[in-house]
Chains A and B, each alone.
Chain A
Amino acid sequence: MFSQRGALAVLGAALVTLGIVHDAAAQQTVKIGAIYPLSGNAASAGGFSKAAIELAVDLVNNGNPDLASVPLADGKGLPGLGGAKIDVIFADNQGTPAAGQNQALRLITEEKVVALIGAYQSGITVTTSAIAERHGIPFLTPESVAANLTERGFKWFFRATPVAGDFARAYSDFLREQKAAGQKTGSIAIVNENTEYGNSVASVIKEQFAKDGLNITQAIPYSANTTDVQPQVLQLKEKNPDVVIFISYTSDAILYAKTMKDLSWKPSIMIADDAGFNDPSFVATSGTLVEGLVNRSSFAVGKPGSVSAVINELYKKKTGSDLDDPSSRAMQGMLIMADAVNRAGSTEPAKIQAALKATDLKGSQVITGYNGVKFDEKGQNVLASSLITQMQGGKYVPVWPKDKAAGELKLPYKGW
């Protein structure tokens, strides 16, 4: 079995390499595949990520004079490849692991992409990156956080985003600080959607909290693609925990915000783990129902003229929405990939893999709030970090840690 798979991988890699060498000679573009949910329940988030990736590609291909500190944004394309332009090819994972897998295969074998990024949902990143691994194509996930993704011994897999362990620690530190300041944190409930993302983040948070003496009293896993969340909210209402942590996608996040108001229940601290609660269409539809909601983000708009502010303006012009956290990470992912391809000076997957391994971006060179980008031997970015934000007046404002805060934390949770 193993040798058969190995032989297939070698054969696949050889075929792909042949195809790419042929392609690179024929044209002055580098094809990078991007697999995102463009239909299905996460299509809204996928669409925003797509726009952010297009913006990243536009920066590299056409440049922007206001963003001199961002690598490759000087309008010269990829100088390492004679000024080649990036041609990003989007594929729709339809919100299912099987569709994502098929699209990865299509991008690699038919479109002959030299590298892949994606795939938003952790459960789909699992299957798509396995295809890339088998074909020897570098795969970078800018946003999927499930812990096991980097524990599979993959050689071609890289992850730029902070992972569950990072923000479980952030939540724990944050909550213990609030406890010391006199907030009620005696009982904590975790409500999580039950695919790879929700389950893995929930279990990492449980471990971290147990270590830190925070008391989780209720765990409610549920299916994200649901028509009704009233029973979940009523389970919360019955036990009445002080703190609730939601790990949800967009459609369910909207239903929770509405249903909590309908059934008139709220905790003293409500935390949302990014994802659905950071989707611009959640903020637009339900922002006024969750005033004081605590969230995490790797992106915060800085002072006018700063890199984040300029990028946010460009993004707003393109989509009509502020750049949200997952989309900012998708954009950063494409910039990391562009940087690696440029340094590789080649479209050969093995050289791009080597360049990714040697990535060394400083905090000042990235557009997100990361401290930089540097991958460890498992492919995890060790300089990834996130801040705690709070919904204030229909917008997320960074409030913690204090040195990165732009606003005052206001507790208890207000809601509607």
Chain B
Amino acid sequence: MSSILLQVIISGLLIGAVYALFSSGLTLIWGMMNVINFAHGDFVMLAMYTAFLVWTVFGGGPAASVPIAAVVLATIGVLSYFLLVRHIMRGPMLAQILGTFGLALLLRYSAFWYFGANFRTLPDTLLGSPFVLGSIRVDAPRLLAGAVGLLVTLLLHLILTRTALGSRMLAVSEDATAAQLMGIRPEHMQAVAWALAAGATGIAGALIATFFYTSPTVGETLAIVAFVTVAFGGFGSVPGALLAGLVIGVIEAVSAFLIGPVYKDVIVYTLFVLVLWMRPQGLMGKA
């Protein structure tokens, strides 16, 4: 294998881990409550602006912006749940879809109003120089984002499957009434799910901001990838999102490199449709 092709695959894995990172929040909300959060991309956007503000106001790098963005977004997640989602859940399916979609537009145009349409970036020297192994280069911000992506996804998975909190959350997602009879308050658990999902999204956004541009519409660009990743991996499956993110990242990179960048979406979406055709529940979703 030529070293440049190896570089393509590594680049694909790194961007794929980032796809997984910002998709895990979306899949978590779905798994918990059967609600698609259409504002997900705009949560990422808010986290990116948080990182940008942490840098411009305090001069802080990812060490400061990641925890701050996690807390800020977890708060926004809980607020969204209590002020909006809790109410629209009682309405018809369409109200749920349009409700979070409305939230997306509210957040996006608030960002337009407050930050303006200008593109922003964090200084590219924030995390030092790339790692070089022979002819292979690994950019530090992407490596950090990729590594944290794996870590956060693993952590979310462990919380859901190995802790009492996770069991209570799963109980609510499977049968809220039965869970209530067992003394679990569904609303509390759902609020925790929104906090966890939005917090993970906050971490994702703060890390993506270190190597991507930030603008009020960046969420739109990223959200499409997140939806595909979640559907591909299986709605509600955190490990599925991880696997799907990596697969999509590598396929995109390799097909763009070998065939051409304009064809990469055709190839990724063909594969996507094929997988859903054979496995409608996604790679790791439950049937």
Contact = CB atoms under 8 A, between A and B. Distances in A.
A332 interface: no
A75 interface: no
Interface in A273-320: 279-282, 284-286, 289
Contacts of A28: none
A234 B4 contact: yes
A41 B117 CA distance: 9
A90 to B, nearest CB: 13
A261 B217 CA distance: 25
Interface size class of A (residues with CB under 8 A): 35 or more
A403 interface: no
A66 interface: no
Interface in B232-287: 252-254, 256-257, 260-262, 264-265
A262 interface: yes
A27 interface: no
A255 interface: yes
Contact of A254 (B8, B121, B252): B121
Nearest to B118: A281
B55 interface: no
Nearest to A219: B260
B124 A222 contact: no
B68 to A, nearest CB: 22
Interface stretch (B89-97, B153-161, B184-192, B208-216): B208-216
A231 B264 contact: yes
Given A39-B112, A262-B137, A44 B117 contact: yes
Contacts of B217: 39-41, 43
Given A226-B261, A234-B8, A47 B117 contact: yes
Interface centre among B213, B215, B252, by most chain A C-beta atoms within 10 angstroms, is B213
A310 to B, nearest CB: 24
Interface string B137-151: 101001000000000
A44 B137 contact: no
Contact of A231 (B8, B121, B137): B8
A69 interface: no
Contacts, number: 113
**Chief secondary structure at chain B's binding surface:** helix
Interface centre among A46, A225, A229, A238 (most CB of B within 10 A): A238
A44 B116 CA distance: 8
Interface string B203-236: 0000000011101111001100100000000000
A228 interface: yes
A264 B260 contact: no
A282 B213 CA distance: 10
A40 B119 CA distance: 12
B130 interface: yes
20 contacts: A39-B216, A40-B217, A41-B215, A44-B116, A223-B262, A227-B15, A228-B15, A228-B252, A228-B253, A231-B253, A231-B257, A250-B119, A251-B119, A254-B119, A254-B213, A255-B213, A258-B121, A263-B11, A279-B119, A289-B124
**Closest 10 pairs between A and B when the two form their complex, measured CB to CB:** A231-B256, A43-B117, A222-B261, A262-B139, A285-B121, A281-B118, A230-B11, A281-B119, A231-B257, A254-B213
Interface of B: 4, 7-8, 11-12, 15, 109, 112, 116-121, 124, 130, 137, 139, 142, 211-213, 215-218, 221-222, 225, 252-254, 256-257, 260-262, 264-265
Interface of A: 38-41, 43-44, 46-47, 194, 220-223, 225-232, 234-235, 237-238, 250-251, 254-255, 258, 261-264, 279-282, 284-286, 289
